[in-house]
Structure 1
Amino acid sequence: MSVKKLLFLSAFSLCSIVSAQTGFTLKISGEAATPLELRLSDLSKMTRKEAVMKDKEGNPHTFTGVPVIEILEKAGVPSGKALHGKDNLSKYVVIKSSDGYQVLFSLAELDPSIQNKNVIIADTIDGKPLPEGKGPLRMIAEGEKKPARSSYQVTEIVIGSSKQ
């Protein structure tokens, strides 16, 4: 393959990735007062927070993103004093990824008035965008012994209730 063709294919691939990420939206649905679709540019304007998580080799990495509770508050999900009480303490949050992987959090464990858990939707690792196949967004639950809930390629946050 000629150098010209190789350069063209590289540039085309990069444009495709950038285009796909600029059209990306994070959907917030379910029992939210204001269901949302947030673009990456929307998330970049929200409060930024860091979370540190180790890789499989034990090396620490710093992720930067938006606290999940801030995204939930923007969607009208109860927090703080409004969370307390029988109706809201039975609510949960499901984080969905593009490959079908899903993780669950109780709404209470994400609320800073109840726990000091640092859970963010990250878009960078060590100051760089998440690598292809891992982003554009990743859920990071800092401090968990196993990173099973720190899922890749997050696409949707669904709020539900266990009340029947």
Structure 2
Amino acid sequence: MTLSPVLKRLASPLILLSLLPFAAASCGGGDDDTPPPKTVLSVSGDVTTQTQFTLAQIQAQPATTQTVSFGSGTGQQTHVYTGASLWSMLNQIGITTNAAVKNDVLAKYVIATGSDNYRALFAMGELSPDFGNRGNQVVYAETINGTSAALSSTDGPLRVTAPGDVKGGRYVSNLVTLKVGTAVSAVHVAGGGTTTQFQLSGAVATPASFDLAALQALPAVTRTVGTTTYTGVSLWNLLNAADIQASSTIKNDLLGFYLIATGSDGYRVILSLAELSPDFGNQPDIVAYEMNGAPLTTTGFARLVIPGDGKAGRYVSNLLALEVVSAPR
């Protein structure tokens, strides 16, 4: 039988040798049977590198152990968790910021989402050691009766913590994604100056405008920071009175909301609404209109004050606007 030219070429030794790697790859056996490490956590959004972590990679991060207590549907819980710092992990990957914008990281947030699409939002200022320093972790182990063990099947293999929260709504179990976002504001800034009023808008049923008289007509609270005593109104009460438009059909929908505070010069920071809610972070933040018994002057008639922060980067002077936003899903 005479071979066709095509078959003669296929039968040549060089062609046969060139096919061997493909033949070997298609056969079982040896190390090729070992499945690749499974991704347990994806990090995306406004980061330098979209990253997928395996459990082993997370366990290789510098770890700390923390004891946390929080309320749940089954009563008060106390846990000892081991894991990696959420802030450190995000910074290792690289949070995308604009160097030309002062404290641009304070306009960023991260959303932690579980395998069931349950989510909770954390403001970067809340996480940063320079500001809120909450100590949130991505945890993979729990100490039970003095013995460290993997998280239970209901919580694991990963969970994010929210130290200091009153209730456990932001302890997202079966954590699968972290998405970094940037606040999107609808407020137009004219370019500075001393403010005499600010607007409350966004995802609220009752938008409003506040001047000094309007603030002074509300129940007053005081907060002392170092040697300075501020007088003003509770930020949470101000927002709650405007009726935040969270969905009643989505479990803890409020945990996906954030607040943008904007000054007259365009300086912008965000807080998660969970930071403010008495059910979760319960932070005593205020919109101040007096400092040590005297009206604010060059800092505008109203100033956002965050008493628990290490630095004053989230103290927004010449307050121009407060916007309530539900982060996109």
5+ residue gaps in structure 1?
1-19, 55-59
2:306 alignment counterpart: 141
The answer on whether the counterparts of 2:203 and 2:245 sit within 8 Å (CA) in structure 1 is no
Asked if residue 157 in structure 1 is aligned to residue 322 in structure 2, the reply is yes
CA distance in 2, matches of 1:26, 1:112: 24
Other structure's SS at 1:88 match: helix
1:61 alignment counterpart: 228
Within the candidate set 250, 253, 266, 1:100 is matched to 266
5+ residue gaps in structure 2?
1-193
Bigger radius of gyration:
2
1:12 alignment counterpart: none
Distance 1:78 1:51, change over 3 A: farther
Equivalenced residue count is: 134
- When the two structures are superposed, what TM-score results if normalisation uses the length of structure 1? 0.75
The answer on whether the counterparts of 2:233 and 2:286 sit within 8 Å (CA) in structure 1 is yes
Other structure's SS at 2:253 match: coil
Q: What are the within-5 Å matches in structure 2 for residues 18-29 of structure 1?
A: 24-29=196-201
Please report how far the alpha carbon of residue 94 of structure 1 lies from its aligned counterpart in structure 2 after TM superposition. 0.5
Indicate the structure whose relative CO is greater, using CA pairs within 8 Å and at least 6 residues apart: 1
Tell me how large the CA RMSD over aligned residues is. Answer: 2.0
1:13 alignment counterpart: none
Please report how far the alpha carbon of residue 86 of structure 1 lies from its aligned counterpart in structure 2 after TM superposition. 4.1
1:113 alignment counterpart: 279
Asked if residue 33 in structure 1 is aligned to residue 169 in structure 2, the reply is no
CA distance in 2, matches of 1:62, 1:89: 30
Other structure's SS at 2:206 match: coil
Q: Which has the higher helix share?
A: 1
User: 1:4-61 CA deviation, whole Å, 9 max, x = no partner?
Assistant: xxxxxxxxxxxxxxxx87xx3220111111111122211101111111224xxxxx10
Distance 1:85 1:69, change over 3 A: same
2:237 alignment counterpart: 70
